[in-house]
Amino acid sequence: MRVALVPTMGALHAGHGALIDQARQDADRVVVSIFVNPIQFDRAEDFERYARVLDQDLEFCEKHGADMVFAPGVEEMYPAPQKTYVDVDEVSQHLCGAFRPGHFRGVATVVMKLFQIVQADTAYFGEKDAQQLAVIRRMTADLNVPVRIVPVATVREPDGLALSSRNQRLTAEQRRAAPVIYRALEASRRLIEGSCRDAAKVREAGLSILREEPQSRVEYLEVVDEVDMQPLARIAGRVCIAAAVWMGETRLIDNVLCEAGE
């Protein structure tokens, strides 16, 4: 019997639905975990503000055909002070890792715990969280974890905004402005597809669009390799253009993948 795990922090939306749907196609049993993991938050207020709507999430999981929902409390996942952590070096160094100290240590640790608890054959992660996906892939490879990691494409609103539970925090004005992130990433991708191989020029193409939007405050926009998430000077092969942008008090991340031809 093939068991699939879809790890989430709840506040489920169509992006999570795509993960569950893919798992449903691939596996005999689908387990969705819902756990707001305190050790991956670098700001206590962000942890407290995170949406918790378990009843709605349970209905959502049932609608998408999940066989089981694992929704533990903090005391169940961390019954004693945590002394053991999983650190994935290098992959977690840049992008979000540079601005959210300890975040990926918390992510890798809780995912490893979930892998041990559920004993799944496959686990599903969204490509929107590209660095998280890279961290989990490297962790499973380095530690010989017998779980196949399955990436699922980013789900977007019609105007390009990547679906995220954080989107509900945006004001009406911020929501209207937020698609600028995807427009900036697409502008950078078009340069690469047009044979530009200078990462600085590609970055500037995206940043120039973000600067035009007064609602946005850029944390980063970088061109990195897809595997180790390292910033590039010259572009070759498959790369990820990733951005983190603040809209007011809400931090949004997004990325696009691009294949640089010969």
- In a 13 Å sphere around the CA of 236, the CA atoms on its Cβ side amount to 3
Lookup result for tokens 């378990």? 54
DSSP H/E element including 151:
strand 148-152
Closest by alpha carbon to 147, among 39, 31, 240? 31
Determine which one of 16, 64, 94, 103 is catalytic: 16
Active site residue 16: yes
Could you tell me the two tokens for 120?
A: 């799944």
Closest by alpha carbon to 226, among 97, 131, 90? 131
Number of H helices and number of E strands within the chain? 10, 8
Could you tell me the two tokens for 142?
A: 């380095």
Sheet with 216-225, side-by-side order of all strands = 216-225, 237-247, 250-260
- Residues 6 or more apart in contact with residue 84 via CB below 8 angstroms: 109
Q: Which residues are catalytic?
A: 16
